[in-house]
Structures are given as C-alpha cells and as structure tokens.
Amino acid sequence: MDPWQTLPRRAAFTCLLLLGNLPGQGVIDGSGSAAAEIAASGPTAVAARLPVRAKVRDTVVELTWDPPEGRAVTGYRVYRAGDDRPIHGEKLLKTPHFVDVGLSPGHIYTYRVRAVLADGTENDEYRPITAVAGFGIAGDELLQNPSNEAPLTDGRIPHWTEAAGSQWTRRESEPEPSAGEAYFFAPDESTAELRQDVDVSAYAESIAAGRQRFVFAGYVHSWDQSPADTARIVVEYRDRDNATVLASFDSGEIANVTRWQRMADVRAAPRGTARIRVRLISTRYNGSNNDGYFDGLSLRAVAPPAG
Ligand SMILES: [Ca+2]
Ligand SMILES: [Ca+2]
C-alpha cells in the first residue's frame, strides 16, 4: 500500500530524512538527517491538480475546465479570491464553463473552481488561475512574503531589506489588515524604506524580445491625522548590473486615511531587465509613529492572452 494513503488527512507530521552510505556504495561523504514538517491533505497533495483554462479580454474572463475523472459531479461553483460566495450566485453551474464580465482592465482576478460532488461536498482539485483583465494570465507570485504574513526572524521581516530605518515590523490592527493577519509598518522612523529585489532572469528570452509583461499590485493606508503620514511604492525595472533603472512605476506619496487604497501597474519589461525592485517608502509628517502602511503586494509575470 502507498504509505501516504495511510496518513490521516489535515494533520501535520514530522518527516525524517536519513542520509547514509549503503554497503559498497560510498557516494555520500558522512551521514546526517533532516526533519521537516509536512501536512497531509488528502490525494490532492500528491496528485497533480487539474488545470483551469482562461481566455482574457478587456472586461471579460472566460473560464473552462474538464470534469474530474471518475467522480459523479452535480455541478460547479466558481469563486473569486477573497470571496466566500460564488460569483454566479447560489445556483450551481451545470457545465464546466463560466464567463466573468464587467471586469476592470488592468485589475487582477484570481479564480477558484470547485466541483460539487453527489454528497454535496466541494472537491478542491482545480488549480487556482489568475488573470489580468485586458492583458492575460498571470503566473505565480514572484515576491516572497508579499503580505507580511511570515513570522519575524530575529526581529526582522523575512525576505525584505531595510534600506532606511531598522524597525520595520508586522502591525496587526488599527487599521485592520487589507489581507491576512498583518501588514508592513515602520514605527518610529521619520523616513523608512523596505525593499525586495526579484530576479527575473528566467524570463530573459521574452524580455529580450520585448514581449514580457509584469503586473504589480498593492495596497496602502495611512493613520487618520492631519497632515497625514504617507505611503509610496516604487517598482523599478533594473539591469543586470543592478546599476541602471530602465523603467519604473512610482505611486507618489499617498495619504489615504479612510481605507486601503489599491495601486497597480502593468508594463512590458524594457529589454535588459534582469531584476525588479519593489520599494516601500513611508514618510512621517505627524506624531511619533510613521503611519504609512503597506499590505497585499503582488508581482507576477503575465502570459499573453490565449486565443
Ligand atoms: Ca497581510
Ligand atoms: Ca504619525
């Protein structure tokens, strides 16, 4: 029997990997072990998940998928990320097809498809798909720790570099996060900057051809005071030597004291782009705290529309 099948679902296990030499096969220098926490989450954890296809137009995304094999399906539901209710209301979709309309060009939409089985449960076998209306299908998230959800490491935010200020941290309330449990915040600095460089050399060929787009999105918020502190995001497309900025998006200083304000940028990477730097800059104009906040960041490559 496949040993993985015997693990209870939705439970965590410690997996111990032992390295050593087999008799007569001295290929490993020494021996050792490593432990890692893994989670058992049923067959989908080990089987390839089913694809969802998308055609992307300016204000419309058309989704299609195949029924799961060997299962009786009574219908389907399609969700947008962050929504608890299906886009199409309570009525099940009877065919593996859905058209989402009235979208905003340049906005990012992530869809989750669920097959509803005969017993009424939802089958989570389909891979989520992310589309940028008007541009195409977006790839995997390229930023590490993009929403500041990872625990601090030695008091620092993992995967981000403090370019100015040394107290960047996770803030969890007042205001509530835009996404998840926490957001980016530099408490006591007058000017603070946090940055992350993303290596995009994997896209060198399409960048050289001038046809590789990337989409950036993020949210900013400020504390309600006057004048208010500001949040600014700069996204720089930099060359191989990391010396020249070939193109950039600059939100300018934003002081939105009432809600998380979304900003987004879709652009073709200039030829020669080798990395993309995301810079979070907060500036204090009032009080002791620097209250420019950042959350829900995203940087993804965009594949051209299919068909
Ligand atoms: Ca967050
Ligand atoms: Ca302040």
End-to-end CA distance of the chain: 44
Ligand 1 center from residue 152 Cα (angstroms): 13
What is the token pair recorded at 102?
């009235």
- Residue 65 has, within 13 A of its CA and on its CB side, a CA count of 27
Whole-number Å distance between alpha carbons of 44 and 115: 14
Residues whose CB falls within 8 Å of the CB of residue 279, separated by 6 or more in sequence, listed in order: 163, 193, 194, 195, 233, 234, 235, 236
Instruction: Name 91's Cβ contacts closer than 8 Å, sequence gap at least 6.
Output: none
Rounded to the nearest whole angstrom, what is the distance from the C-alpha of residue 278 to the centroid of ligand 2? 23
What domains does the chain contain, in order, with CATH numbers? Answer: 48-138 (2.60.40.10), 161-303 (2.60.120.260)
Residues 6+ apart with CB under 8 A from 218: 233, 262, 263, 264, 294, 295, 296, 297, 298
Reduced to 3 states, what is the DSSP secondary structure of residue 271? coil
Smallest CA-to-CA distance from 142 within 80, 201, 82, 209 is with 201
SS3 4: helix
pLDDT (tens, 9 = 90+) of the chain, 307 residues, equals 344 444 444 444 444 444 444 444 434 444 444 454 444 444 444 457 899 999 999 999 999 999 988 888 999 999 998 788 999 999 999 999 999 999 999 888 999 999 999 999 998 899 999 999 999 999 999 999 999 999 999 999 999 999 999 899 999 999 999 999 999 999 988 999 999 999 999 999 999 999 999 999 999 999 999 999 999 999 999 999 999 999 999 999 999 999 999 998 999 999 999 999 999 999 999 999 999 999 999 999 998 765 4
Q: How far is the CA of 174 from the centre of ligand 2 (A)?
A: 13
Residue 198: count of CB within 10 angstroms of its CB:
15
- Closest by CA position to 278, among listed 172, 156, 144, 181: 144
The number of the ligand nearest the C-alpha atom of 224 reads 2
CA of 295 to the centre of ligand 2 (A): 18
Q: Give burial (CB, 10 Å; 0-12/13-18/19+) of 77.
A: buried
pTM of the model: 0.77
Compute the distance from residue 172 Cα to the ligand 1 centre, in Å: 8
